[in-house]
């Protein structure tokens, strides 16, 4: 702090040499620049790195974050004062981490600062609450896994799907404040409840952001919690580190909570502990994996039954005899099919033409409700047309791919019991002993719902999905189902025409290592992550940007494409890729850079 005996700040625009000046990153899309402002004497104590402020920029009031205090502004500028101090913001270390993430995923700092901030203004902090949960009575087979951790890279603990992570988290909380990142809000509230029951002070973010910022024993939250405040942090824990929900896949920047957690822990000099029943190649590449004994691991995976459908007549449809008899035999079953609605793909029974939207070309689906014949609707542009073929006018249409609604109707008839339906859009579902749902059903239910069996109706859809990590995600589904079904006592059934797939072998023997051993050579051959680092570049401004990348000295990146106006940029590792992407100035216009996306 300079100018202890500072004179009163004059209202004049020309700063006095000793006036306190801050540097601010604005919360305005498109303004990726820092601006300097004077700190009014009355609020100087509240202004630190991370503080959220309001400033006047070009005649309008906008939000921003203080990223430096006591800077030397460029000469000859008439500085404005800060309009207002909005309240507490991210810790200074997280402001730095936002800069790292902006580099790592070719994004903007404000995206990450915004994620690291409270949902509503926090003018004052509550009192800290440091009470940890009671230490677990015994850790059993997991005790050895908690041997001293390296501080420079994450460690993955391979715990079976049905294993409870609460004792591990409680044990680590004995060392001081911990940050726990989980893949879903549901998972977070379950864990929070258990830790609170054990007497721990727990802040669940984003709701309890202010308490987390003030200081508490355990901070828990979903993906964005990788950016939650946690004063005195001693360990970062990621639960289900394989889960794709830990990565932002929809919009750029496509950051990943496991990578943020790892870097955050490394910078703080504390361990990053990742727990996963099925560590991905990305996790294996990031750091060592610690295993329990095989017997313990087996106990946490459900018995898997593979129904080989290669010999079945395709006209038999989605339901093998074995599937139907198993569902009849089980007291409570969940069936999973990753498609909503009645019919996801229709063809004309006379001319064979696919039923597509005449306006936008996407496949029309059958309206899920209403009178028969059900009209056809376009999921893309909401065009509606009666059930006729646009080519030949025939009204006879054939179902090529069936959706969840249709399946629940058909199963009800086949099994002779009422069937409920759960999709991501479902608010509440009936208390039936058979449920049919999209993958969302696995996220909505918990082991406490006592569904002892999970059946995947069309598992090949998962195994063959056009995503880089499709196989790993398929194994993750089986792990999730195993947890829901209650481990060894539960049952998981899959219908498939690829019964020898490594995913199924791995789940059958409760050994996820079988899948990684098979996947790594594929990634090596195709030169895909984690062997390389890739980015997909698209948008109107992509072409000049790629010209810039191609012109970089020593060609650090390989450029492939364009394929449908998208280019693929490959480098030997994430740092080389990030350096290259940052070295080229972004041309004006819209440009999307997705680093390490789910699909290419």
Partner DNA sequence: CGGACAAGCTGA
Partner DNA sequence: CAGCTTGTCCGG
Q: Are 483 and 276 in contact (CB under 8 A)?
A: no
Q: Is 37 in the site for DNA (CB under 7 A)?
A: yes
Q: How far is the CB of 28 from DNA (least distance, A)?
A: 5
Nearer to DNA among residue 34 and residue 353 (C-beta): 34
Q: Is 28 in the site for DNA (CB under 7 A)?
A: yes
Residue 563-592 contact track with DNA, rule CB under 7 A, x = bound: -------------------------x----
Residue 42-61 contact track with DNA, rule CB under 7 A, x = bound: -------------xxxxxx-
Q: Which residues are 292's β-sheet partners?
A: none
Q: Is 79 in the site for DNA (CB under 7 A)?
A: yes
Pick from 4, 17, 74, 466: which binds DNA (CB under 7 A)?
74
Tokens of 499: 């019964």
Considering only 33-41, 104-112, 181-189, 267-275, which stretch makes contact with DNA by CB under 7 A? Answer: 33-41
Nearer to DNA among residue 26 and residue 438 (C-beta): 26
Q: How far is the CB of 29 from DNA (least distance, A)?
A: 4
Nearer to DNA among residue 139 and residue 543 (C-beta): 543
Q: How far is the CB of 44 from DNA (least distance, A)?
A: 16
How many other β-carbons are positioned within 10 Å of the β-carbon of residue 356?
18
Nearer to DNA among residue 75 and residue 525 (C-beta): 75
Q: How far is the CB of 595 from DNA (least distance, A)?
A: 21
Considering only CA atoms, which of 326, 421, 418 is closest in space to residue 369?
421
Q: Is 30 in the site for DNA (CB under 7 A)?
A: yes
Alpha-carbon separation of residue 82 from 65, 145, 401 (angstroms): 11, 50, 59
Q: With CB under 7 A, what is the number of residues at the site for DNA?
A: 23
- The answer for residues whose C-beta is within 8 angstroms of residue 287's C-beta and 6 or more apart is 150, 153, 154, 155, 156, 262, 272, 274
Q: Is 466 in the site for DNA (CB under 7 A)?
A: no
Q: Is 396 in the site for DNA (CB under 7 A)?
A: no
Strands (E), 76-147: 84-87
Q: What are phi and psi of 531, to 5 degrees?
A: -70, -35
Pick from 29, 45, 425, 551: which binds DNA (CB under 7 A)?
29
Tokens of 215: 């200081």
Residue 129-168 contact track with DNA, rule CB under 7 A, x = bound: ----------------------------------------
Q: Is 77 in the site for DNA (CB under 7 A)?
A: yes
Q: Are 475 and 346 in contact (CB under 8 A)?
A: no
Q: Is 553 in the site for DNA (CB under 7 A)?
A: no
Tokens of 92: 């200074």
* Separation CA 590–CA 415 (nearest Å): 53
Q: Is 83 in the site for DNA (CB under 7 A)?
A: no
Q: How far is the CB of 567 from DNA (least distance, A)?
A: 22
Question: In a 10 Å sphere around its CB, with 0-12 CB exposed, 13-18 middle and 19+ buried, how is residue 53 labelled?
Answer: buried
Q: How far is the CB of 62 from DNA (least distance, A)?
A: 8
* Separation CA 424–CA 458 (nearest Å): 18
Nearer to DNA among residue 55 and residue 172 (C-beta): 55
Q: How far is the CB of 588 from DNA (least distance, A)?
A: 6
Q: Are 445 and 423 in contact (CB under 8 A)?
A: no
| H-run or E-run covering 419 | strand 419-422
Q: Give Cα 377 distance to the centre of its chain.
A: 31
Q: Is 351 in the site for DNA (CB under 7 A)?
A: no
* Separation CA 180–CA 194 (nearest Å): 13
Strands (E), 184-294: 202-204, 218-221, 235-239, 272-276, 289-291
Q: Which residues are 334's β-sheet partners?
A: 435, 454
Nearer to DNA among residue 22 and residue 482 (C-beta): 22
Considering only 44-52, 76-84, 104-112, 484-492, which stretch makes contact with DNA by CB under 7 A? Answer: 76-84
Q: How far is the CB of 587 from DNA (least distance, A)?
A: 10
Q: How far is the CB of 32 from DNA (least distance, A)?
A: 8
Nearer to DNA among residue 77 and residue 316 (C-beta): 77
Nearer to DNA among residue 110 and residue 480 (C-beta): 110
Nearer to DNA among residue 33 and residue 396 (C-beta): 33
Rg (CA), the chain: 27
Nearer to DNA among residue 28 and residue 139 (C-beta): 28
Phi-psi region of 318 (alpha: psi -120 to 50; beta: other; left: phi over 0): alpha
* Separation CA 225–CA 235 (nearest Å): 14
Nearer to DNA among residue 73 and residue 556 (C-beta): 73
Alpha-carbon separation of residue 4 from 1, 8, 10, 81, 522 (angstroms): 7, 11, 16, 20, 64
Pick from 6, 31, 129, 322: which binds DNA (CB under 7 A)?
31
Site for DNA in 285-324 (CB under 7 A): none
Tokens of 583: 């070295």
Tokens of 77: 């500028």
Q: Give Cα 527 distance to the centre of its chain.
A: 24
Considering only CA atoms, which of 542, 587, 588 is closest in space to residue 569?
542
Considering only CA atoms, which of 142, 236, 220 is closest in space to residue 188?
220
Q: Calculate helix-pair angle for 257-268, 92-104, nearest 10 degrees.
A: 130
Nearer to DNA among residue 80 and residue 566 (C-beta): 80
Alpha helices, DSSP H, located in 248-403: 257-268, 281-286, 294-299, 321-329
Pick from 80, 385, 444, 467: which binds DNA (CB under 7 A)?
80
Q: How far is the CB of 544 from DNA (least distance, A)?
A: 12
Q: How far is the CB of 79 from DNA (least distance, A)?
A: 5
Nearer to DNA among residue 10 and residue 424 (C-beta): 10
Considering only 26-34, 240-248, 414-422, 579-587, which stretch makes contact with DNA by CB under 7 A? Answer: 26-34
Q: How far is the CB of 109 from DNA (least distance, A)?
A: 15
Q: Are 277 and 158 in contact (CB under 8 A)?
A: yes
Nearer to DNA among residue 28 and residue 44 (C-beta): 28
Q: Which residue has the tokens 């997280």?
A: 94
Alpha-carbon separation of residue 144 from 88, 157, 547 (angstroms): 40, 10, 53
Q: Is 25 in the site for DNA (CB under 7 A)?
A: no
Pick from 7, 33, 197, 398: which binds DNA (CB under 7 A)?
33
Nearer to DNA among residue 52 and residue 142 (C-beta): 52
Q: Which residues bind DNA (CB under 7 A)?
A: 23, 28-31, 33-37, 55-60, 73-74, 77-80, 588
């Amino acid at each position: 702090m300079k100018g202890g005996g500072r004179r009163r700040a004059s209202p004049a625009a020309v700063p006095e040499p000793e006036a306190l000046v801050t540097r601010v990153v604005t919360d305005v899309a498109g303004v990726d620049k820092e601006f300097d402002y004077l700190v009014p004497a009355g609020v100087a104590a509240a202004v630190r790195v991370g503080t959220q402020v309001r400033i006047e920029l070009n005649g309008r009031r906008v939000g921003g974050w203080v990223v430096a205090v006591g800077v030397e502004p460029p000469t000859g500028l008439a500085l404005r004062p800060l309009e207002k101090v909005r309240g507490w913001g991210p810790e200074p270390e997280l402001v730095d981490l936002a800069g790292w993430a902006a580099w790592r995923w070719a994004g903007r700092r404000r995206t990450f600062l915004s994620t690291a901030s409270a949902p509503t203004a926090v003018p004052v902090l509550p009192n800290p609450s440091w009470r940890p949960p009671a230490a677990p009575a015994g850790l059993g087979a997991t005790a050895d896994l908690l041997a001293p951790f390296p501080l420079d890279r994450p460690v993955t603990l391979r715990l079976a799907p049905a294993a409870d992570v609460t004792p591990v988290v409680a044990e680590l909380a004995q060392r001081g404040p911990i940050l726990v990142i989980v893949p879903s809000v549901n998972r977070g509230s379950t864990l929070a409840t258990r830790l609170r029951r054990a007497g721990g002070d727990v802040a669940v973010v984003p709701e309890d952001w202010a308490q987390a910022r003030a200081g508490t024993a355990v901070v828990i939250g979903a993906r964005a919690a990788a950016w939650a405040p946690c004063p005195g942090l001693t360990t970062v824990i990621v639960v289900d580190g394989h889960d794709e929900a830990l990565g932002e896949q929809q919009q750029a920047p496509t950051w990943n909570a496991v990578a943020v957690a790892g870097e955050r822990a490394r910078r703080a000099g504390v361990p990053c502990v990742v727990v996963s029943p099925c560590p991905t190649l990305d996790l294996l590449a990031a750091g060592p994996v610690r295993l329990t004994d095989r017997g313990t691991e087996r106990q946490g995976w459900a018995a898997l039954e593979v129904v080989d459908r290669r010999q079945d007549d395709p006209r038999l449809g989605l339901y093998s005899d074995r599937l139907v008899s198993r569902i009849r035999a089980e007291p409570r079953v969940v069936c999973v099919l990753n498609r909503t609605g009645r019919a996801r793909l229709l063809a004309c029974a006379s001319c064979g033409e696919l039923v597509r939207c005449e306006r936008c070309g996407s496949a029309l689906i059958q309206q899920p409700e209403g009178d028969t014949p059900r009209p056809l609707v376009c999921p893309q542009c909401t065009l509606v047309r009666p059930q006729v073929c646009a080519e030949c006018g025939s009204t006879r249409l054939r179902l090529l791919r069936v959706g969840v609604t249709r399946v629940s109707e058909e199963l009800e008839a086949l099994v002779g019991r009422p069937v409920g339906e759960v999709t991501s859009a479902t608010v509440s579902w009936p208390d039936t002993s058979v449920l049919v749902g999209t993958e969302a059903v696995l996220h909505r239910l918990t082991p406490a719902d006592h569904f002892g069996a999970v059946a995947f109706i069309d598992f090949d859809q998962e195994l063959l999905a056009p995503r880089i990590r499709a196989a790993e995600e398929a194994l993750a589904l089986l792990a999730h189902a195993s947890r829901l079904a209650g481990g060894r006592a539960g049952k998981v059934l899959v219908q498939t025409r690829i019964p020898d797939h490594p995913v199924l072998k791995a789940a059958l023997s409760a050994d996820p290592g079988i899948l990684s051993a098979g996947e790594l050579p594929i990634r090596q051959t195709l030169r895909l992550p984690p062997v390389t680092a890739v980015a997909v570049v698209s948008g109107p401004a992509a072409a000049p940007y790629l010209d810039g990348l191609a012109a970089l000295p020593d060609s650090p990146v390989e450029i492939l494409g364009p394929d449908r106006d998208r280019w693929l940029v490959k480098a030997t590792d994430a740092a080389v890729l990030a350096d290259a992407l940052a070295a080229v100035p972004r041309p004006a216009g819209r440009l999307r850079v997705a680093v390490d996306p789910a699909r290419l």
